[in-house]
Amino acid sequence: MALVVQKYGGSSVADAECVKRVAQRIVATKQAGNDVVVVVSAMGDTTDELIDLAQEVSPLPPARELDMLLTAGERISMAVLAMAIANLGHEAKSFTGSQAGVITDSFHGKAKIIDVTPGRLRSALEGGSICIVAGFQGVSQDTKDITTLGRGGSDTTAVALAAALNADVCEIYTDVDGVFTADPRIVPAAQQIPKISYEEMLELAASGAKILHLRCVEYARRYNIPIHVRSSFSQKEGTWVVASTEGTEVEHAIISGVAHDRSQAKLTVVGVPDKVGEAAAIFRLVAEAEINLDMVVQNVSAASTGKTDISFTLPATDGQSALAALNKAQEEIGFESLRFDDRIGKISLVGAGMRAHPGVSATLFGALADAGVNIEMISTSEIRISVIVDQDDVDTAVHAVHRAFDLDADQVEAVVYGGTGR
């Protein structure tokens, strides 16, 4: 008997009809002779609606209470799904993240899983039940408060449970048929990727391809859990995310895909004295505020003033905390002012074959220039090139880059089955 972990995203359980369809799929998996653990997200855009609600009563809600509120979304879907399965004559038990043994650190809104103790799930499985677990949440080891794993975190719950339960496979059900060469909502001519390495998927996820949560891919790589990303609206084979096998890179396409991210912002510290220790002081403050930076650029200082500007990108949602932390230290650091721009977008080109192929950046920059897109910042890794552009240019840039690397399909095959793209 195999143990299958399945995760259903918000659009797969958006309403009662969707929940009933998903319940049938789960029961079919059970009837095929598998033990089944299901991780479920909040219905439709519930999480966004709860965030809007919180913001209506408080512009900066206390992080503990925000987590308490948001986890309610997943509790609704887990209970409703368990009911739909019971209605099909099968036993299903729902569990919160805490009941399922998802233990985290205490950083609200971006907690990391530090242990998984799924004793209650094991007993329920032994008793013949299907287990339904609320995604995206856990309980802090130290404070015992309820935490969330960050937006899109249900994917990570699924892989963490798959690892802890030694599952045979982790299936991520969503509203597209798998991982594509670009977001099919922007590029209908994007092509489905049948198989992708953890390494490339990590870069895509880190670059904003929200099809999989970044930490879910890190977890899967660490524990070597194969992930099958597929649609809950079709029976098609999806995309397998697996370890890259030796030698396959040679046959690999040079580029695996183009990712975009509209959730970043750019903060510029203007007029920083050009002397030893200044950058260290700035980034220490940002790190103390638990903010993850992405790109960093320091301009050449103007000889006349001896001052320079330092710009970095960060999640837009962390903007206010970063500004507050830096403003408090203005005198000590001695910078002139801060500039904040959340109207930016990041475009990234990812491909393991880049290592061996010079000229990729030239083609990328050429494509953006031809499309009239101005580049504000650039960063690279061994298998990725990212650029920051104006947010209004994101769609144009993604199309241009996708076409320039011959990724457009001859015939449009990408289907978006549901979801609002919010």
Shortest Cβ distance from residue 119 to ligand ASP (Å)? 24
141/364 Cα distance (integer angstroms): 46
| Contacts to Mg ion from residues 151-180, by CB under 5 A | 152
Extract the tokens encoding 164.
Answer: 């802890």
List 6, 11, 34, 41, residue binding ligand ASP (CB under 6 A): 41
Please report whether residue 10 would count as binding ligand ASP according to CB under 6 A.
Answer: yes
Amino acid at 213: H
161/38 Cα distance (integer angstroms): 10
Please report whether residue 102 would count as binding ligand ASP according to CB under 6 A.
Answer: no
Shortest Cβ distance from residue 100 to ligand ADP (Å)? 18
Using alpha carbons, select from 201, 190, 198, 203 the residue that is nearest to residue 379.
Answer: 203
Residue 341, beta-bridge partner list: 266
Please report whether residue 158 would count as binding ligand ASP according to CB under 6 A.
Answer: no
Shortest Cβ distance from residue 137 to ligand ASP (Å)? 9
Please report whether residue 153 would count as binding ligand ASP according to CB under 6 A.
Answer: yes
List 27, 42, 132, 205, residue binding ligand ASP (CB under 6 A): 42
Please report whether residue 174 would count as binding ligand ASP according to CB under 6 A.
Answer: no
Characterize the bridge pairing of strands 3-8 and 35-40.
parallel
Shortest Cβ distance from residue 39 to ligand ASP (Å)? 9
CB–CB of 7/39 below 8 Å? yes
Shortest Cβ distance from residue 82 to Mg ion (Å)? 21
Residues that bind ligand ADP (CB under 6 A): 9-12, 41, 152, 174-176, 179-180, 182-185, 209-211, 257, 416, 419, 421
Shortest Cβ distance from residue 42 to ligand ASP (Å)? 4
For ligand ASP, what does the binding mask look like between residues 114 and 143, x meaning CB under 6 A?
---------------------xx-------
Say which entry of ligand ASP, Mg ion, ligand ADP, none residue 354 contacts (CB below 5 to 8 A, set by partner kind). none
Q: Identify which of residues 9 and 118 has a Cβ nearer to ligand ADP in the complex.
A: 9
For the CA atoms of 54, 55, 59, 65, the dihedral, rounded to the nearest 10 degrees, stands at 10
List 25, 151, 252, 266, residue binding ligand ASP (CB under 6 A): 151
List 109, 152, 238, 345, residue binding ligand ASP (CB under 6 A): 152
Shortest Cβ distance from residue 47 to ligand ASP (Å)? 3
Shortest Cβ distance from residue 36 to ligand ADP (Å)? 18
> What residue ranges bind ligand ASP (CB under 6 A)?
9-10, 41-42, 47, 73, 135-136, 151-154
> What residue ranges bind Mg ion (CB under 5 A)?
9, 152
